[in-house]
Structure 1
Amino acid sequence: MKQVLITGANKGIGFETARQLLQNGYYVYIGSRSLENGQAAVEKLKAEGLTQVEAVQLEVTNSESVRAAREEIGRKTDVLDVLVNNAGINGGMPQSSLEASVDQFERVFNTNLYGVVRVTQAFIDLLKKSAQPRIVNVSSSGSSLTLQSDPTWTYYSHKAALYPSSKAAVNMYTIDLAYQLRDTAFKVNAVCPGFVATDFNNHRGTGTVQEGGTRIAKYAMIGQDGPTGKFIAEEHNPQTGETPW
């Protein structure tokens, strides 16, 4: 049974991704900043008959928490097949380049970028023991420099300095990570779940968590013929999913 860790998986897209991977026979570790919230998510899934799941306390901004989560999971398994770096924050308002404070930037990058780095580096040894390791870094089409600079793009006027810039940095990290692992069986991709209605955006999104979870789970499960080092946003490009950086 393949095993997956999903950060920030106690609700929203992370929770739905967990559900879909469970339905596909994976054993899921739900990373949650609050262990209580993580356990509540586990109980919801078990009530649906999805029992191969457990919660792990994991605060991606805290190195000690990440280390403790690695040790806990390492006591249960020698191999991790999939890592989904899903945990993220939007940064609050304002998000204007001229008004957002450096403290706001630091908080957002600490979760959205540095959190990805902390968790990936902590779990890479377990992932390397998998026959088909996968890393999915949850991103956003709003982090595409090409789209953000295109006046004809649907969301061109929806500018924000914090969240998109942090995800653009995640995209660059994804490119480099895929390159470092290029001669291995790893598949490493940045994947946008779409503009999904969740607590994250006060339910202003136009898509469903089911759609978002499906997009993330797809790239967690891709075969050896699948892409690596790519930026995938199927809402933007339904044909191939590949999106300009």
Structure 2
Amino acid sequence: MTTRKNALVTGANKGIGLETARRLAALGFKVWLGARDSKRGEAAAEALRAEGFEVEWLELDVTSDESVAAAAKTLAARAPNLDVLVNNAGIAPGYLDALGPDGHYERPPSREDIADIKATYDVNVFGPVRVTQALLPLLLASPAARIVMVSSYLGSIARAAGNGQSPNVMGYGSSKTALNAVTVAFARELAPRGIMVNAAAPGYTATDLNGHKGHRTVQQAAEIVVRLATLDAGGPTGGYFDENGPLPW
């Protein structure tokens, strides 16, 4: 008898997270849809169930140690292991306010708000660390778990320094740079245990985070996330990729 594989996607009630949940469910995973808000989370899960997928909402606030611990306990009681973890939840407070009429980001680093940067790091960096640490026993119980950190092109120092064309978003961009470093650290630890950990850059996607100004669809964005979540044995780990291949750190 084949046991259905389990996947958890954080921040999955909308945007790239929701599309990633849909795609993984379509591949046969039972998907745990992580979301803070019960109304939005359950509505998203119900919408995917209406499409014929096995999806359940899992209450999960990545900024809360207590919420993450409770989610891990709930999951452990319902699933023997976790085969895929997608750390997708992310925020960019103040980003929309800094967009000019032409859609370009116009807030220099010297004017970024420290409180916004702290909030960004709590979700975008410490959140994935919290969640990964809490769920590690379930991931290790899988014969071949995969962890995907949803990063950004803005996390690439080489791209930012090399062409100057990407927006100079210090808080959000540096949080994704830090997430890339977190990716490598976990990959180094977990490679001997058979777990692959990689960072995905989905591109500038039309989501609530940017007021739907992104030029890519969530379907396009989810492609690299799902690919890294379903790598075969012998695939890469500790890497940073978009759909076309490795990216410069």
Shorter chain as normaliser: what TM range?
over 0.9
Instruction: State the match for 2:10 in structure 1.
Output: 7
Instruction: State the match for 1:147 in structure 2.
Output: 159
Q: Take 1:233 and 1:142, find their aligned partners in 2: how far apart are those partners?
A: 12
Q: Take 1:184 and 1:47, find their aligned partners in 2: how far apart are those partners?
A: 37
Q: Take 2:235 and 2:209, find their aligned partners in 1: how far apart are those partners?
A: 29
Higher helix proportion (structure 1 or 2): 2
How many angstroms does 1:96 deviate by?
2.6
- After superposition, the C-alpha distances for 1:100-130 in whole angstroms (9 at most, x for unaligned) are 1221111100010000110000000100010
Instruction: State the match for 1:49 in structure 2.
Output: 52
Q: Take 1:21 and 1:199, find their aligned partners in 2: how far apart are those partners?
A: 22
* Contact 1:143–1:168 (CA under 8 A) maintained in structure 2: yes
How many angstroms does 1:91 deviate by?
2.1
**Pairing 1:145-184 to 2, within 5 Å after superposition:** 145-151=157-163, 155-156=165-166, 158-184=167-193
Instruction: State the match for 2:206 in structure 1.
Output: 197
* Contact 1:8–1:14 (CA under 8 A) maintained in structure 2: yes
Instruction: State the match for 2:116 in structure 1.
Output: 104
The answer to whether structure 1 residue 136 and structure 2 residue 156 are counterparts is no
Q: Which amino acid aligns with 1:62?
A: S
The count of aligned residue pairs is 236
Instruction: State the match for 1:243 in structure 2.
Output: 247
Q: Which amino acid aligns with 1:243?
A: L
Does 81-90 or 212-221 show the bigger shift? 212-221
Q: Take 2:162 and 2:195, find their aligned partners in 1: how far apart are those partners?
A: 33
Q: Take 1:92 and 1:226, find their aligned partners in 2: how far apart are those partners?
A: 37
Q: Take 2:181 and 2:200, find their aligned partners in 1: how far apart are those partners?
A: 13
Q: Which runs of 4+ in 1 moved over 6 A?
A: none
How many angstroms does 1:194 deviate by?
1.4
Q: Take 1:182 and 1:49, find their aligned partners in 2: how far apart are those partners?
A: 35
Instruction: State the match for 2:197 in structure 1.
Output: 188
Q: Which amino acid aligns with 1:32?
A: A
Q: Secondary structure at the match of 2:170?
A: coil
How many angstroms does 1:184 deviate by?
1.9
* Contact 2:198–2:238 (CA under 8 A) maintained in structure 1: yes
TM-score relative to the length of structure 2: 0.92
* Contact 2:86–2:150 (CA under 8 A) maintained in structure 1: yes
Instruction: State the match for 1:80 in structure 2.
Output: 82
Q: Take 1:175 and 1:91, find their aligned partners in 2: how far apart are those partners?
A: 26
Q: Secondary structure at the match of 1:174?
A: helix
Match of 1:28 among 22, 31, 34: 31
Instruction: State the match for 2:223 in structure 1.
Output: 214
- After superposition, the C-alpha distances for 1:195-233 in whole angstroms (9 at most, x for unaligned) are 111111111111110011122111100101211000012
Which sections of structure 1, spanning at least 5 residues, go unmatched?
none
Q: Take 1:189 and 1:183, find their aligned partners in 2: how far apart are those partners?
A: 15
Q: Take 2:77 and 2:48, find their aligned partners in 1: how far apart are those partners?
A: 23
Q: Take 1:223 and 1:91, find their aligned partners in 2: how far apart are those partners?
A: 36
* Contact 2:8–2:86 (CA under 8 A) maintained in structure 1: yes
* Contact 1:91–1:162 (CA under 8 A) maintained in structure 2: no
Instruction: State the match for 1:127 in structure 2.
Output: 139
The answer to whether structure 1 residue 59 and structure 2 residue 61 are counterparts is yes
Which sections of structure 2, spanning at least 5 residues, go unmatched?
99-106
* Contact 2:224–2:241 (CA under 8 A) maintained in structure 1: no
- After superposition, the C-alpha distances for 1:28-58 in whole angstroms (9 at most, x for unaligned) are 00000102111000111112121x1100110
